[in-house]
Chain A
Amino acid sequence: MNRFTSFAVALFVALMAVAPLFLNAYHVDVLNSIGLYGLLALSLNLILGEAGLFNMGHAAFYAMGAYTAAILNTRYQIPILWTLPLSALVAGFFALAVARPVVHLRGDYLLIVTIGVSEIVRIALVNDVFGITGGANGIFGISRPELFGFVIRQPQHFYYLIWGFVAFTIFLFLRLKQSRFGRALNYLREDEVAAEGSGVNTDYYKLAVFGLGAAWAGMAGTLFAAKMTIISPESFSFWESVVLFMIVILGGAGNVAGVLLAAFLVIGLPELFREFSSARMLVFGLVMMVMMLVRPQGLLPAKSRQFSFAELSNKGSFR
């Protein structure tokens, strides 16, 4: 990181930290929405951006998490934030079970299968599968989250919960990227045959990243359920998956900053131009086409990893 980027990051963090003090409830809620989508997009970025697996059914994992949290909370009165790990597990294992037989499929086939799975999940939710999802009504009366005896109710409070979680996620994911695991995902994306031929267990990493990305989406689902206090199948439509897919591609697959920027643009901008909301989808479509022509690597393309080693043996300078 050079000086300018460090400064920019510091300024961004500082701005985000104090933002709720200057904004009204609506604007804070827009930022909350951006945060939730950012979180989801970061988790999809692992699968799509880092590992290059075409997953267009991320909403299914998000839904799994949200419904797990909602069911545990409304039926068994488990405090909503306590359900976070369980939602992660349920969503993660669901993803593993789904991905296990299909993960070896070629890119576009995987895309179709993930779309299919998310549709099946949505249909199952609508049809009140096992009698626990509440059908099209969804689940309501989810209790507000409580943290150390403090009930989170206002958008401002949710802001810190959501963006705190985003910060935590970024911290972990950046470290993950700079590791054996993170590199293995890139090997997969670049050339699966070569990765396997270099001793990387490609099936394992495909499954692992599906599980991890889904688990994170599940936790985002829990936060969503806590914030909305009501969830219903239409919040997890295919369209949500498309929007997430778009955020990752638009921002720059494999780049955390890019993904966050795209979340701001894709979720934030339509709020600004509410008056033109009927044309916003048109603009989205156009932007997607033009971006692929002009800048297919996204607004902020992924950068190479930096390693600490003596760059040239004769100079011995470290950076």
Chain B
Amino acid sequence: MEEFLQQLTNGLAVGGIYALIALGYTMVYGVLKLINFAHGDLFTYGAYLGLTLLTSLALTDRLGFFMGVLVLALMVMGLVAVLGMILERAAYRPLRESPRLSAVVSALGASIFLQNTLMLIYGARFQVYPDNILPVTAFDLFGLQIPVMRVLIVLASVVMMVTLYLFIQKTKIGTAIRAAAIDQGAARLMGIDVNRVILLVFLLGPALGGAAGLMVGLYYGQINFTMGWVYGMKAFTAAILGGIGNIPGAMIGGLLLGVVEAMGAAYLSIAWKDAIAFCVLILILIVRPTGLLGERVADKI
């Protein structure tokens, strides 16, 4: 039982990261019906930019731990958001009217390009965050050893997700995003500037992805230029699991996938962990192609 609970918290920590990244996939897919393959790499950029800013500006020394990390996070999110916007302009907008395949290939190309740019700048070796910034202690909760950092990670991702959810549900711009996700044409007729919605989605998604990257860097310490691929794959799986295009779905899908992985590792096999995750994905697609929270929409014929 104790191990079960411990694994549950392990899974939630990993799942929180997946969920943050999954939000970017699901928003872009919702509005553009495009798998933004490069989203995972924007996440990696978040991690690398975070490292560079952290070491060059020494924010935590000047502003203290919490303020330093907060300012750092805002800077990283802003920069990655700009990067996302550039990506949309360069690789996706010109292909808006093209067949789906073109956009998919362009996205894949963008992913490869971004990844290798990073490699040429920073080198192929992994990079390491300074290890003296964060508290590396654990506290005891009903017999469970819970690292402080993990609580911070989960808290931070939950706060960001809830903020996003409220933004999407309660504000006018959020409603516009939802409308554009349901029917772009109709949204345009209703006077919604779809281009602005897309731009916004490409700012929000990458910002959250960048924040996730920074969190991974701070928490795990070790980052490398290819890690966006694995995280991206998992996050996309999470998005489908929850029902792609559905924002609460991405959050639940992410957390669930993290837990499934941890439980799979604990009670089935560690080596088969990724295979288990993919099997779950395929099963979901077979049994309930719309995901857990997605609604069935009739194909227009």
Contact = CB atoms under 8 A, between A and B. Distances in A.
Q: Do chains A and B touch in the complex (CB under 8 A)?
A: yes
A112 B119 contact: no
Contact of B274 (A52, A113, A119, A253): A119
A164 interface: no
B286 A102 contact: yes
A54 B101 contact: yes
B282 A116 contact: yes
A109 B105 contact: no
Interface string A2-26: 0000000000000000000000000
A292 to B, nearest CB: 4
B102 A292 contact: yes
Which of B116, B279, B301 lies at the interface centre, i.e. has the most chain A CB atoms within 10 A of its CB?
B116
B72 interface: no
Contacts of B117: 282
B112 A105 contact: no
A105 B272 contact: no
A115 B111 CA distance: 16
Contact of B112 (A111, A127, A284): A284
A245 B106 CA distance: 12
B72 to A, nearest CB: 28
B187 interface: no
Interface string B82-114: 000000001100110011111111101111111
B109 A285 contact: yes
B265 interface: no
A242 B109 contact: no
A117 interface: yes
A102 B289 CA distance: 10
A287 interface: yes
Which of A115, A278, A282, A284 lies at the interface centre, i.e. has the most chain B CB atoms within 10 A of its CB?
A282
Interface stretch (B6-14, B61-69, B233-241): B233-241
Contact of A242 (B29, B108, B278): B108
Contact of A123 (B110, B112, B275): B275
A123 B272 contact: yes
B1 interface: no
Contacts of A124: 275
A228 interface: no
A249 B105 contact: yes
B90 A289 contact: yes
Contacts of B119: 278, 281
A109 B99 CA distance: 16
Interface residues of B, number: 48
B98 A296 contact: yes
Which of A116, A123, A291 lies at the interface centre, i.e. has the most chain B CB atoms within 10 A of its CB?
A116
B259 interface: no
Contacts of A291: 105, 109
B285 A287 contact: no
Interface string A162-202: 00000000000000000000000000000001000000000
Contact of B101 (A116, A246, A249, A278): A249
Contact of A281 (B102, B105, B115): B115
Contact of B109 (A115, A253, A284): A284
Interface residues of A, number: 40
Given A119-B275, A278-B120, A279-B116, A289 B281 contact: no
B141 interface: no
A112 B106 CA distance: 16
Given A112-B240, A120-B275, A279-B116, A289 B91 contact: yes
B271 interface: yes
Interface string A93-118: 00000000110010111011101110
B192 interface: no
Contact of B113 (A115, A123, A289): A289
B271 A292 contact: no
Contacts of A249: 101, 105
Interface string A123-153: 1101100000000000000000000000000
A312 interface: no
Contacts of B279: 116, 120
A285 B114 CA distance: 8
Nearest to B114: A285
Interface string B3-41: 000000000000000000000000001000111000000
Interface in A279-301: 279, 281-282, 284-289, 291-293, 296
B238 to A, nearest CB: 12
B259 to A, nearest CB: 19
Interface string A224-243: 00000000000000000010
A126 B281 CA distance: 21
Interface in A239-264: 242, 245-246, 249, 253
A101 B286 contact: yes
A193 B285 CA distance: 21
Contact of B105 (A102, A105, A126, A288): A288
Contacts of B114: 285
A117 B119 CA distance: 28
Given A101-B286, A285-B111, A296-B98, 17 more contacts: A108-B100, A109-B285, A113-B281, A123-B272, A126-B271, A281-B112, A282-B112, A282-B116, A282-B120, A288-B106, A288-B108, A288-B113, A289-B91, A292-B103, A293-B95, A296-B95, A296-B101
- Counting from the closest, the 10 A-B pairs by CB-CB distance are A288-B109, A285-B113, A285-B112, A116-B278, A282-B116, A289-B109, A292-B106, A296-B102, A123-B275, A281-B116
